[in-house]
Amino acid sequence: MAGSLNKVTIIGNLGKDAEIRSFQNGDRVASFSVATSERWKDKQSGEQKEKTEWHRISVLNQNLVGVVEKYVRKGTKLYIEGQLETRKWTDKDGQEKYSTEVVLRPYRGELILLDRAGSGAGQGNDNYGLDSFQATGTGGGSGGGSFGGGASAAIPSDFDDEIPF
């Protein structure tokens, strides 16, 4: 049994189009922010209240970077699973700064488009033939489409369920 677990699950909307950057070795990273909102009715005033949190996301899985670049736009509703990581750096004034973000590393993490692909940014109803779209860093998943580091196979719909053992 593991002594600890670092896993973050977020369902929210993309605040603006992702930024794709390239490293010298040719790998790329997708960076974006996802908003999650909480709504409630104030008991004293009866008025509706809302609180929005912004979460920084960094995608280092190269297959998922391609999916983000091709399909994810401002307003897209996403399901994200990753790890919480804190980076430390020194700014131009010599001050140490910290940034905490959700990171999707190769073979770890999951990204599922919950909107009809392409409709999150008001791009019409073109859904690329998919009602749900899943991109995963582990190669698994049950969404309409799957991208990832591992192999996945489709089971035909006429598959006979009679297994002799």
CATH of the domain at 127: 2.40.50.140
Q: What pLDDT digit, counting tens, does each position of 42-84 carry?
A: 999 999 999 999 999 999 999 999 999 999 999 999 999 999 9
Give the per-residue pLDDT at 108. 86
**Is pLDDT of 23 > 70?**
yes
Q: Classify residue 78: in a domain, yes or no.
A: yes
Q: Classify residue 155: in a domain, yes or no.
A: no
Q: How far apart are CA 37 and CA 75, in angstroms?
A: 13
Note whether 36 and 11 are within 8 A (CB). Answer: yes
Give the per-residue pLDDT at 113. 94
Q: Classify residue 157: in a domain, yes or no.
A: no
Q: Which domain holds residue 119?
A: 8-39+47-136
**Is pLDDT of 32 > 90?**
yes
**Is pLDDT of 21 > 80?**
yes
| Strand 28-41 with 48-59, pairing | antiparallel
Chain centroid offset of residue 46 CA: 35
Q: Classify residue 14: in a domain, yes or no.
A: yes
Give the per-residue pLDDT at 130. 37
Q: Classify residue 23: in a domain, yes or no.
A: yes
Q: What pLDDT digit, counting tens, does each position of 80-126 carry?
A: 999 999 999 899 999 999 999 999 999 889 999 998 654 544 433 33
Report how many domains make up the chain. Answer: 1
Give the per-residue pLDDT at 89. 87
Q: Classify residue 165: in a domain, yes or no.
A: no
Stretch 24-47: mean pLDDT: 94
Q: Classify residue 64: in a domain, yes or no.
A: yes
Q: What pLDDT digit, counting tens, does each position of 133-148 carry?
A: 455 554 443 333 334 4
**Is pLDDT of 35 > 90?**
yes
DSSP-derived secondary structure for 67-96? HHHHH--TT-EEEEEEEEEEEEEE-TTS-E
Task: Give the CA radius of gyration of the chain.
Answer: 19
**Is pLDDT of 153 > 60?**
no
Q: How far apart are CA 125 and CA 131, in angstroms?
A: 11
Cα 151 to Cα 106, 107, 147, 154: the distances in Å are 14, 11, 9, 10
**Is pLDDT of 14 > 90?**
yes
Q: Classify residue 67: in a domain, yes or no.
A: yes
